[in-house]
Every structure is written in structure tokens, then in C-alpha cells.
Structure 1
Amino acid sequence: MDKYLDYILEQMKNLLAIDSPSGYTQKAANYLMAEYERLGYHPQKTVKGGVLVDLESGDVKHGVLLEAHVDTLGAMVSEIKENGRLKITPIGGMNANNAEAENCRIVTRFDGIYEGTCQLVNASIHVNGEYDKTGRSFDTVEIVLDEPVTDKESVAALGISTGDYVCFEPRTVITRSGYIKSRFLDDKLSAAILLGYAKYVKDENVSLKNRVYQHMTVFEEVGHGGAASVPDGVKDVISVDMGCVGNSLSCTERQVSICAKDSRGPYHYDLVTSLVKTARDMGLAYAVDVYPHYGSDADVALTAGYDVRHGLIGAGVYASHGYERSHVEGMKNTFLLLKGYLG
């Protein structure tokens, strides 16, 4: 067991180190393609840029599709200001309060990558008397480039332009007590868990009852990651995404969360019941919760018209869409639930 958990943590760190806000995910997808091939699989790159792989075991007439996503939050340059600062527009649910004071990288289309920091406009407290009173929004924060630029023309001369991606530093830390802290655990922690499950199936030569596929999507944060590429024969779509931790919810970072309902509605009753029974029978640390502000790739598959049952599980993650925190026990419980449920 330990070798699979160590592998999951290694893959999580590798994925978190690759910038991949929605729409700029080709490097992460290429990494996944190479890793699946190294494990002995035959992955396919979807037209949209995701990665789909058949675990090559089980009855194709009742397939199970596991979905995680490797696209993250981020931003895009929307204007070069006259003073050489960059106005940005968020990608996905990036929040200006959480972006403030974070280091970032500006990826130009043709002229390399530059570094900078997201700051409040007029960010010096010793100068700005309205610092505490200013509401944080993408109209009041900006990117300060780590380049000697003072006007619009000098920024343009670097090759920076509107439409360039802004990628935020993940700051990944694993503490001695097992807590995992990073931006973008949503959903690269789950993507690593799926890789760990694929490694387990291959290494242990597991014979699965039902055909299992994995789909690493690349547009989840903007709402259409799971809208395509469901293989023929799939009857169940399970999103492996972050489990919510917060007020009025029972899940902690050390548990696997099983979602009964999110903002789009209830998940399939029979599938949720089967997941809960598996977790209970295995003695796993788990929680069943209702997520008040959430949508998943499994939801999107139904919206796209697929006639499937859908479910959602994931390791508990606190401070979602900010500097997130989970725990290796939550990761372990999620891996074990997949292992037990899929047989």
C-alpha cells in the first residue's frame, strides 16, 4: 500500500509544478500521456486536449468512467496599463482576495515567460491611506512585473500582450503531520490518485468486473470538461474531485467525502448508496455531505446528454479555490474507496 501512496504524492507534486489554468493545459496533458505510457497503458489525447485511457480490464458492456481534472484557476492579461502594470481577468473561480500578494508567471505566446506579483493597486500601506478600506476585485488588483518597465510601450516590447496567461505559484508543502498544502489540489490531488489506481491495477494484474476508463479533463474550471469523450458502454461516471470542508459540512481533510447533492442537484441515489456501503463495509473514514456551491464533470456529462448514473467523491479539501489543505489520510481513504468499489 505504501508504495502506491508514495507514488500518488510524487505524481501530485509533479502535476502541481506544471502550470495549467483552463485553456493552457497542454504541458500537463503531455505529462499524463507519458506517465500512462510508462505504466504500460495506451492513452489517447482528446480533441479538446484531455487524456482518456482504458485500464484494459473488465466487461465493456458496463463501463465505469473515472474523471479528474488537471486544469486549474488562473488569469489572463486583459489590458496593459499606461504605467506598465497589467490588468487581469480571472479564469475559473479565481478570487482577487486570494490572488493578492501571490507570485505569478506571465506566459507570452512567442517571447517566453516573465515573473511578477499580483498586488493591490497602490499596495504600499505607508503610502495608501485607503488600503484597509479598498474592496479586492480584479478592478483593484494588478500584476506588477519583475522587469524595469514604466509604461505600456516597454511592456509591449517584452512581447507581453492581451490574452497572455497568468499562472499563480502553487506553493506546495507536505507537513511532518501529513497535511498537504497547495494551490490547485483541486484537482491535481485527485488526478494523482487516479494515476495511483492505474498503477495498482497494472502492477497487481487486477481483473476488474466492469471496464474502467479514466478521463483527465482540461476544462472543468470553466464548466465543460466532462461534456464529451464518454466511451461507448459506460454506465457510471464518477468524478474524483475535491471533497468540501467547511461550516455545516461534516467532512474533514482526513476523510473521503461522498457527495449526495451539489448546486446542480442530487447524484444518482443507487450509485451514492453503493459508494457509502463500500466505505462503511471497509471501515474507511468517510463523510456524506451536500455541497452548497459546486458542480462537477459528472454533472456536466448528464447536461451534455449522456444516459449514465453519476457520482462524486474526493479527499476532503479546506479553503477551496484559495491556498488549499488536505491530508494524506484523506488521499488514502479516497484511493481505498476506489479500490474497494471497483473491485
Structure 2
Amino acid sequence: MNKPFGTTSKHVRIDVEYMVDFFKRLVEIPSPAGYTDQAVHFCGGELERLGVPFELTRRGAIRATLKGRTRGPARAIVAHLDTLGAMVKRLKENGRLELVPIGTWSSRFAEGARCTIFTDQRSFRGTILPLKASGHTFNEEVDTQPVAWDNVELRVDAVAYKAEDLRRHGFNVGDYVAVDPNPEISTSGYINSRYLDDKAGVAVMFAAIKAMVDAKLKPTVDTYMLFTIAEEIGVGASSVLHGNIAEMVTIDNGTVAPGQASRESGVTISMADSAGPFDYHLTRRLIQLCETHDIQYQRDAFRYYRSDSASALEAGNDIRTALICFGVDSSHGYERTHLNALRSLAELSCLYLQSDILFGRDAQELGPLTGFPTQDTEDAEADGTIADTATDPSGGA
């Protein structure tokens, strides 16, 4: 007789003050994809402080290890450190900079933004403006100019009236541009900021790590806490996984918008995104954990969205993947979520770390039919076949 599902997991206290403080410090560190070294050092320093061993890939993706009660099949939880940003495309003859975006985001959300430009020698401050920025000069044309990256330019806070002035200051094609995050946390618990995607997800992971360390709890199996550095440009978790990982849960934003079920509270569990459905069994295990432990959740599906899970699978990793989200309004713009969603995600992460493994046979990259799961059908549900297979910690192996 199988023990009731979820009895191996217990709630642990999430230090919300720590999570908020970590987020506020991390979000102020510029890290557009390709310029993430400083954020990597910051997170590495915090892992050292928490006593969690880790290693880096050549380019700086982080693989931290939480040793389990048994070795495997191993698990992973992943979030990404990189953000959106921009790069200098051209030094313009009017003394301003033409930009191209890093990642996929609309220039609508860049207009009027303060930013930092990193040259080879030093940094400068500046403002991203539409080409027709002055109503006193262009009158109603300021309201009719199309929205496109070709229609914005960066005004640097330096004496520069022509391209030669920019070169003299040290500006070059390829300089990175980081837009100010402008975080604000209200007394009602709302967090407004750029780059909640995915620095809020990273903060959730660190809050879960701290909670497990403080409670002196070990995960059921060896678990790798992964922090990728190029998710916004599609690379993500493609290079930080190894063959012993059988399950990977991604933490990222869920889109709060008309036609979507995501909310700024509780956990949003994505059933599918533009890369296809997430793993049937892993997704339903996370739903079971929410229901067993009274964590508010909602299901959603995203049509124009991809995550670290997609890059992991496209790189050829044969792993079960799932995506759990904090609901974000105005994703890839000036974003908003609520502390309730972040706390709920941290709680779910800790419960998942303690939960029984899905299927013992997943420890093998290739194995027999014995122990391979089945999926719910009306007949199987009626006779209880699926319940036994899905909750058996050994996977029937």
C-alpha cells in the first residue's frame, strides 16, 4: 500500500524580508544578456555565505548543489540572471546613439527611460528618447511617430553634437546599454519594477535555498539550483545541465493579461508555451503539491513565450520539464507582481525539493518498459491504475 502523497513534504518558513532585500540588491545590478558577470559574482557570493557549494560554466551560468538524502534521479530548479537591454548600433551624426534591442521587447517601453552605457573604458548615463521628442518643435507629430527601435535614439549625458564627439568620449558600436529598473515596493505588497523577469524568480530560488538551509532539511534527491545567463536571447539552460538530471522546474514570469489565467497572487502553473506542452507527470505533481498543502494556484498556457525549459530540450536533454510562474502584469515592460506570488513560489519550491521522486526508472537514461508511467484515461482512473503508478516513489521499477 502506498503512503498518501505529500506526507514527506512539510512547509518551511520563507524569510520574506530576506527575499525582498535580495531582489532589491540584485535588480540594481545591470545584467542585460551578454553583460552578466557582475550579477554572477553577486549570486556566487551569496551562495558562499549560505554555505552552498556551486560551480560555474565557462561563461558564468551557476550550478549550485543541494545534496539530497539519496543521489538520484537528480532534479534541478532554474531561473535566469540575464535581462533585456540594448546595444549601440551606430554613432549618429547628431551626437546621439542608435540602438538595437537585446532580447525581445518593444521600444515603447524604452521611450523616456534613463539608462547606463558601458563603454570599453567607463560608463555614462543617458536617456532613450523618440526621434521627435519635443512637442514645442514637432507639435502633434510627437503623438503619431511609429513605435520602433529605428525611431528612438540615446541622448548621452556628455558634450556630444556629432559622431566625432562620441568617438572622442570612447563610445563604440557594441557598447552595452542597461535601462534603470526603478523598483518600487508598496505597503500593499505590490512590486513594480523592470526585470521582475526573472530577477524576482532568482530571489524566489534564494529564499527557498535559505529556507532549506535554515531548517536543516535535505532534498529527497540531489538537486541542482541553476542560474542561467542567456535566457532572453534563447540560449538559457542549454549548457548547464548534465545527464544525471531527470526533472527540471523553471521559475519565471506568467503573463497577466486579457485571455490569460495568470494572476499576481498564488502560483501560476504553465501547462504549455510556444515550445509545446510541459511534462504531463511533473506538471501534475506540482499541482498535487499545491492542492495537498493549500497553496493557491491557477493553470495557464502561453502562446508567445518560451523559457529555460525550451532551451534545455532543444539542446538534446531528455528531461521532464515544468514551468511555475509568478504572475506579472506588463511583461517585458514596466512590470508588476505581488509578494504573495513570490512567497507562494518559494513555498512550492521547498515542498517540491522534499517530495518523493516521480519515477525511479528516470535514473536511467534508457530503460525497459517496466516502470514506465501511463497517463489518465477514464477507464484507468476508474480502477485506480493511474493513482498507484503516479504516486509510487519507485515508479514501479
Amino acid at match of 1:161: N
Shift of 1:231: 3.1
State whether residues 76 and 90 of structure 1, in contact with CA within 8 Å, keep that contact through their aligned partners in structure 2.
Answer: yes
Q: What is residue 361 of structure 2 aligned with on the other side?
A: none
1:300 counterpart SS class: helix
Q: What is residue 56 of structure 2 aligned with on the other side?
A: 45
Q: What is residue 195 of structure 2 aligned with on the other side?
A: 184
1:130-150 Cα shifts (integer Å, max 9, x gaps): 211111111110001111211
Q: What is residue 54 of structure 1 aligned with on the other side?
A: 65
1:60-97 Cα shifts (integer Å, max 9, x gaps): 22111111001000000000000100000000012100
Q: What is residue 333 of structure 2 aligned with on the other side?
A: 322
Shift of 1:50: 1.1
Q: What is residue 146 of structure 2 aligned with on the other side?
A: 135
Shift of 1:3: 5.9
Q: What is residue 271 of structure 2 aligned with on the other side?
A: 260
CA distance in 2, matches of 1:210, 1:60: 5
Amino acid at match of 1:125: G
CA distance in 2, matches of 1:2, 1:126: 56
Shift of 1:122: 2.6
Shift of 1:45: 1.5
State whether residues 21 and 167 of structure 1, in contact with CA within 8 Å, keep that contact through their aligned partners in structure 2.
Answer: yes
1:115 counterpart SS class: strand
Question: Counterparts of 1:296-335 in structure 2 under 5 Å?
Answer: 296-335=307-346
Match of 1:113 among 119, 123, 132: 123
Q: What is residue 124 of structure 1 aligned with on the other side?
A: 134
Aligned pair 1:160/2:148, yes or no?
no
- Percent identical pairs in the alignment equals 34
State whether residues 67 and 221 of structure 2, in contact with CA within 8 Å, keep that contact through their aligned partners in structure 1.
Answer: no
More displaced stretch, 247-256 vs 115-124: 247-256
Identify if the C-alpha distance between structure 1 residues 282 and 3 changes in structure 2 by more than 3 Å, giving closer, same or farther: closer
Structure 2 residue runs without a partner (length 5+): 1-11, 355-397
1:140-181 Cα shifts (integer Å, max 9, x gaps): 100011112111111111111100001000000000100001
Match of 1:175 among 163, 183, 186: 186
Shift of 1:293: 0.9
Q: What is residue 208 of structure 2 aligned with on the other side?
A: 197
State whether residues 96 and 155 of structure 2, in contact with CA within 8 Å, keep that contact through their aligned partners in structure 1.
Answer: yes
1:251 counterpart SS class: coil
Amino acid at match of 2:115: C
Q: What is residue 395 of structure 2 aligned with on the other side?
A: none
Q: What is residue 231 of structure 1 aligned with on the other side?
A: 242
2:204 counterpart SS class: helix
User: Aligned Cα RMSD in Å?
Assistant: 1.1
Shift of 1:278: 0.8
Aligned pair 1:341/2:369, yes or no?
no
Shift of 1:59: 2.4
CA distance in 2, matches of 1:128, 1:136: 16
1:131 counterpart SS class: helix
State whether residues 243 and 316 of structure 1, in contact with CA within 8 Å, keep that contact through their aligned partners in structure 2.
Answer: yes
Aligned pair 1:286/2:322, yes or no?
no
Shift of 1:2: 6.4
Structure 1 residue runs without a partner (length 5+): none
Q: What is residue 281 of structure 2 aligned with on the other side?
A: 270
1:287 counterpart SS class: strand
1:18-65 Cα shifts (integer Å, max 9, x gaps): 000000000000111111000001211111211111012232221111
State whether residues 22 and 219 of structure 1, in contact with CA within 8 Å, keep that contact through their aligned partners in structure 2.
Answer: yes
2:22 counterpart SS class: helix
Q: What TM-score comes out, normalization by structure 2 length?
A: 0.84
CA distance in 2, matches of 1:210, 1:231: 15
Q: What TM-score comes out, normalization by structure 1 length?
A: 0.97
